[in-house]
């Protein structure tokens, strides 16, 4: 019976972590004002949107990155003032370190002046994504 103990402990710890993982991934959180830095065309390598820009950091070993890309593209398709920039995290490590991106996909919600107002780690849900974009007024 005591041989079962390691397995039980591992599965219990992994479950606790897994529940936290499931509840935290995909949530759009507003970014702390203290950390606000304006991002521009030069750092991002692409024009900003007139009203809002969604900057997605992706990597090769990431299934939800595809889903996020498809979802954002779909949601903003009739929003000409919102742009989506997809950045390969691995080839932009300086930016990744500066913005403290730790996992993929991470999506930043920038306002019209390129300031980060929100951030979602993991694939966002459709309604929360729309809500976060709507919150970014011109």
Nearer to another protein, 28 or 55 (CB): 55
Strands 82-88 and 52-58: parallel
Residue in 71, 86, 117, 125 binding another protein, rule: CB under 8 A: 86
Footprint on residues 15-54 left by another protein (CB under 8 A): 15, 17-19, 21-22, 46-47
Which residues touch 122 (CB under 8 Å, ≥6 apart)? 24, 25, 26, 27, 64, 103, 105
How many positions of this chain bind another protein (CB under 8 A)?
A: 45
Residue in 32, 34, 42, 97 binding another protein, rule: CB under 8 A: 97
Q: Please enumerate, as own/partner, the contacts of 60-65 that have beta carbons within 8 Å and a separation of 24 or more.
A: 60/90, 62/104, 62/105, 64/25, 64/105, 64/122, 64/123, 65/104, 65/105
Which residues touch 132 (CB under 8 Å, ≥6 apart)? 28, 109, 118, 120, 124
Q: Establish if 105 lies at the interface with another protein (CB under 8 A).
A: yes
Residue in 90, 98, 126, 134 binding another protein, rule: CB under 8 A: 90
Q: Establish if 119 lies at the interface with another protein (CB under 8 A).
A: no
Nearer to another protein, 33 or 91 (CB): 91
Contact 65, 83 (CB under 8 A): no
Return residues touching another protein (CB under 8 A): 3-4, 6-7, 10-11, 13-15, 17-19, 21-22, 46-47, 57, 59-66, 69, 72-73, 76, 83-86, 88-90, 93, 96-97, 101-105, 122
């Amino acid at each position: 019976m005591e041989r079962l103990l390691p397995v039980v402990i591992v599965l219990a710890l992994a479950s606790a972590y897994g529940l936290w993982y499931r509840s935290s991934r995909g949530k759009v959180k507003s970014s702390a004002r203290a950390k606000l830095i304006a991002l521009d065309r030069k750092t991002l390598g692409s024009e900003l949107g007139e009203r809002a820009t969604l900057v997605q950091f992706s990597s090769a070993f990431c299934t939800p990155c595809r889903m996020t890309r498809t979802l954002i593209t779909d949601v903003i398709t009739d929003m000409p003032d919102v742009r989506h920039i997809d950045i390969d995290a691995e080839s932009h490590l300086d930016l990744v370190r500066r913005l403290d991106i730790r996992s993929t996909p991470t999506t930043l919600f920038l306002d019209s002046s390129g300031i980060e107002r929100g951030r979602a780690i993991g694939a966002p849900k459709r309604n929360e994504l729309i809500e976060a974009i709507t919150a970014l007024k011109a």
